[in-house]
Amino acid sequence: MVLYEVAVDAPLATTLTYSQPVERVDPLPTGCCVRVPLGKRLVVGYILGVVHHQNLDEQPFTVKPIAEVLLESPLFPPALIPLYQWIARYYLYPIGKVLRTAIPLTPGSRSSQRVRAKMRSVISPGPLLLSQLSTAVDHGGDAVVDHLQRNYSITLKPAEKKTLQLFLSIFCEHEQHPIDRLLITRQYPGASPRLRRLCELGILEETDEQVIRDPFSRVMETPLRPVQLTREQKAVLETVLPTLATGNFSPFLLHGVTGCGKTEVYLQTVQHALDLGKTALILVPEIALAAQLESHFYARFGAQLAILHSGLSDGQRFDQWQAVRSGKVSVVLGARSAVFAPLENIGVIIVDEEHEPAYKQEDGLRYNARDLAVLRAKMTGCPVILGSATPSVVSYFHSMQDKYTLLTMTTRVKEQALPLVEIVDLTTTKRSRPDLAFSDELIRAVAETLHQGKQSLLFVNRRGFSPFMLCRDCGFILQCQHCHVSLTLHRKNNRLLCHYCGAGQPVHTICPVCHSPRITGMGIGSERVEEEVKQLFPEARVARLDSDTAVKRNYYLKVLQKIQAREIDILIGTQMIAKGLHFPHITLVGVIWADSGLGMPDYKSAERTFALLAQVTGRAGRGEDRGRVIVQTYQPHHYSIVLAQNQDYQAFFTSETAVRRPLGYPPFSRLVNIRFSGLREKQVEEAARQSASFLRQQHQHGQVEILGPSPSPLPKLKNHIRWQLLLKSPSSPLLHALCEALSSEKKRICPSSVTMSIDVDPENMM
DNA sequence: AGCACGCCGACT
DNA sequence: GTCGGCGTGCTC
């Protein structure tokens, strides 16, 4: 009898053994997708291989047959199995879940080949509740319960009442929009059967709603034709190209200033791989950038190109995946998850903007696609190019240690000078309008730019009007009830919003603590900057891009077109305008508060600040005229700001490593952050303490530092109390052994009401 | 993750 | 009694 090793979609550390489906003789190929019985239910699984068992009878379990073959043809090449297994071990994540993440198709459903919209389940008031909605909002759920009893003789059980009450409160918080089902079940895990009954009774209604996909898909861009290469481009290609033919792992770090022509290097390298009959994989940090590179790659490789990112519909993704799998296409361009593309015979892997935090997946399997790209290149035996204008400190350190070959490009293609960067010290500079977010220098610069008929870009890192509400009498800062973070004032709809859980409430006019009416919005968000700009330059044509305005993809595209057409003079925006976009008539970039990230309790904050400043600086002067950048800051002498002025990466690297070395932070160590979260403070704290003492007991030779446990920097999020435990060690194996021990003892240490999640190589410590 | 089972306190 | 709210254990 043939037995199969199956990775099932359940949080199990090991694979399980299943037998041949009944009434089937042909063996099933490795990589095919099946449905298997697990306990009392059926789950999706992937066949990882055939098991050769001599004495099956001595096994402590009874082998069940595979219930159904969901997809006959293998979804991934067998060569990827060692990668999956490595990931499961390294990130301490169940193997079946690793495959589910790596293969972003939904073969579980009947029609995975049809194009389908991305859906989520939402709850809204049903017919019975709808007529009573105003009563419910004004007088609470009890009034509704009474009404249902009187008019329909419906009696709700206590748990159902509780569910209804919970629904009503969330519903009101979300301004009476339909509520994501998960918002309810996350706060009240037992809600599912109650919701079902409330829906049956017609009190609530459950519908599938289409999730609006990423708004950035098709940024217009004129594809570049192969051009005369610069000397630097030639030199880089001459180093890289020979490694494509050998089939050896060769990692490169390509450090090139913005505008140095990295894209052309990528294109020619990929072309070379194709000429050798091999394939190529290109990763970009986010879809907005994928769209930009997409046009270049499409112009060059046309039908040979596949695109893989989360903005695709299931159907599109399925088609792209199969095209790659079958060898119909040889070039894959995509975001994070494209690192799992089922390519074979890879000639080169390219990771653009390798320093970007977006390569780290922050939920579920917390992998870093940049690191996996390097690993995949190693397993495959091919070159990998990590490209960036501001390499991550860790990657640059590797190049200093000769683990990576460093390639440097220092001149811009069109010989453009880098923009002139001026730093404005907000602590000492006198301001004629101290009530505004603008220094006189910035006001003057915007006015001048406006006068010249050029465009300005103003960068703010927070959306909304004011990031917090302060009582001027007692100093109280309004916080979200579910999250312990300050509420942001949004002027547009005049509400206070939590940026972590999305809950909203009306603006308070009196302080809830001391009842003072002197409660005001403090701090600067993008809405406020927009308002001030309109006040300062009433004649200017102004637009704002942040995640509040860009939810509508059409709006985003319209703004981009208007900038292109020079119908906008001043663009205000958050992170999303820092990357990629290049418009020749933007000559001025203003950074409203450059050091805002430096206060974060995170060892990477200086690195991020430097990269961000370098990035926004790159937005200025992409045309004929030399750009100008004005950086407002309260920390004008901080090295990340001073050194960003001349884009002096090497000096930054030296300063940053000098800070990290004595503290033993990466690259001088590896980190693992262990997070505990749950609804009850006591339990979470206890689980964290138990885990810490278990680890300290396991490990006594002092090679691993165990820091904590302590409440997370964001100690409460979406009603969940959060604690964390940080492990730090120069020895990856030791660190790993400890995590494995903890992981296998997880159930004994950590009650099921507390979630423990292990974040290996954390990108974000919050 | 689900799902069953079993325990315990708080009500009809 | 028995309902609802946990905690625990298992899945080839």
Structural domains in chain A, CATH included, are: 3-102 (3.40.1440.60), 119-210 (no CATH), 231-409 (3.40.50.300), 422-467+523-660 (3.40.50.300), 670-760 (3.30.70.600)
Is A260 marked as a binding-site residue?
Answer: no
What's the Å distance between residue A13 CA and nucleotide B4 C1'? Answer: 22
Return the pLDDT at A219. 41
Q: When comparing pLDDT for A280 and A189, which is higher?
A: A280
Distance CA A382, CA A401 (A): 20
Return the pLDDT at A243. 96
Does the pLDDT of residue A215 top 60, yes or no? no
Does the pLDDT of residue A374 top 80, yes or no? yes
Return the pLDDT at A135. 78
Return the pLDDT at A107. 64
Q: Which residues touch strand B (CB under 7 A)?
A: A 10-11, 38-41, 755
Does the pLDDT of residue A137 top 80, yes or no? no
Q: Helix or strand or coil: residue A651?
A: helix
Distance CA A43, CA A53 (A): 24
What's the Å distance between residue A747 CA and nucleotide C9 C1'? Answer: 10
* Strand B nucleotides within 7 Å of a protein CB: 1-4
Q: Which of A22-31, A398-407, A574-583 has the highest mean pLDDT?
A: A398-407
Which of A297, A298, A309, A304 has its CA nearest to residue A269? Answer: A297
Length of chain A: 766
Distance CA A584, CA A578 (A): 15
pLDDT classification of A616: cutoffs 50, 70, 90: confident
> Model-level pTM?
0.85
Structure tokens at A294: 């997409």
pLDDT classification of A738: cutoffs 50, 70, 90: very high
pLDDT classification of A106: cutoffs 50, 70, 90: low
Whose tokens are 């190693």? That residue is A378
Distance CA A613, CA A643 (A): 10
Percentage, residues of chain A above pLDDT 70:
94
Which of A23, A18, A22 has its CA nearest to residue A33? Answer: A18
Considering chain A, what is the average pLDDT of its residues?
88
* Strand C nucleotides within 7 Å of a protein CB: 3-12
Q: Which residues contact A657 (CB under 8 A, 6 or more apart)?
A: A393, A397, A667
Does the pLDDT of residue A111 top 70, yes or no? no
- Interstrand relation of A16-19 and A3-8 (parallel, antiparallel or unpaired): antiparallel
Q: Residue A201 half-sphere exposure, CB side, CA atoms within 13 Å?
A: 24
What's the Å distance between residue A58 CA and nucleotide C11 C1'? Answer: 18
Return the pLDDT at A214. 33
Return the pLDDT at A61. 86
Which of A98, A534, A609, A77 has its CA nearest to residue A321? Answer: A77
Return the pLDDT at A220. 42
Distance CA A754, CA A764 (A): 21
Q: Which tens digit of pLDDT belongs to each residue from A491-519? A: 988 899 999 888 888 887 789 889 999 99
Q: Per-residue DSSP letters for A346-387?
A: EEEEEEETTT-GGGB--SSS--BHHHHHHHHHHHHT-EEEEE
Mean pLDDT of A349-363: 96
Angle among Cα A406, A410, A415 to the nearest 5 degrees reads: 155
Return the pLDDT at A110. 43
Q: Which tens digit of pLDDT belongs to each residue from A530-551? A: 999 999 999 999 999 988 887 7
Distance CA A451, CA A449 (A): 5
Find residue A458's DSSP bridge partners.
A572, A590
Mean pLDDT of A294-323: 88
Whether A742 and A706 have beta carbons less than 8 Å apart is answered as no
Q: Which tens digit of pLDDT belongs to each residue from A255-270? A: 998 878 899 999 999 9
Does the pLDDT of residue A216 top 60, yes or no? no
